[in-house]
Amino acid sequence: MSSSTSPVDQAPWESWSLDPDFYAKLHDWNKRHPENKLDRLLVRIIVHIDTLKPLVDLIPDAPIPVRSLVKSIMFLIQLSAVCSAL
């Protein structure tokens, strides 16, 4: 099977010109403002997850393992909060 198109020699983003000054300013701004909306959102979600843990046990786990799915999602959110705090 022969290909009629030639492979792409250059990726499209290789021709982009990026402004290093912008990234330096962004890095400086992030150093001065370490708190972001994601951190605040994750803290609020974790607080609500902790208050809802007793209700999760009331979710039926048969015939579809919904309770297990909800618990998995809760643990993934808690893990993402820990990873974003590092």
23 belongs to a structural domain? no
74 belongs to a structural domain? yes
77 belongs to a structural domain? yes
pLDDT at site 65: 92
83 belongs to a structural domain? yes
* pLDDT level of residue 77 (50, 70, 90 thresholds): confident
The predicted-structure confidence for 19-76, as pLDDT tens digits, reads as follows: 889 889 988 987 887 777 777 888 888 888 888 888 988 999 889 999 999 999 989 9
3-state secondary structure the chain: CCCCCCCCCCCHHHHCCCCHHHHHHHHHHHHHCCCCHHHHHHHHHHHHHHHHHHHHCCCCCCCCCHHHHHHHHHHHHHHHHHHHHC
Tokens of 41: 């959102």
The predicted-structure confidence for 7-16, as pLDDT tens digits, reads as follows: 557 777 778 8
pLDDT at site 7: 52
pTM: 0.52
Number of structural domains, the chain?
A: 1
